[in-house]
Amino acid sequence: MSGSEIAQFRERQRLEEESARLALEGSAVVASHEAIITRMELGAEAILPLFQQDRNDEAFALWYAGVMEVQP
C-alpha cells in the first residue's frame, strides 16, 4: 500500500467509525412502542367520534389520509 492508499483507508475508517458512533449515540429518532401507541390513540380520538355520529365517509377519509400517523 502506498502512503495515499493508507491515508484513504484511514479516512474511510474514521468516517465509518463516526457514522457508527452517531447511529448508536446520536439524536436519531427511534419510534418506541409507547410513541406508536400514543400516535394511534390520538388518531382514534379524531376518528372514533365520526363513526359514532354515523359520519363513516369522513372517518374513513381521515383513516386513509393517514391521521393515525400524525405525530403527538
How confident is the model at residue 68, as a pLDDT? 54
Q: What whole-number distance in Å separates Cα of residue 67 and Cα of residue 72?
A: 11
The residue assigned the cell 355520529 is 53
pLDDT digits (tens, 9 = 90+) for 37-67: 888 888 888 889 999 999 999 888 888 887 6
| DSSP for 3-58, written as a single string | HHHHHHHHHHHHHHHHHHHHHHHS------HHHHHHHHHHHHHHHHHHHHTT-HHH
Confidence class for position 70, pLDDT limits 50, 70, 90: very low
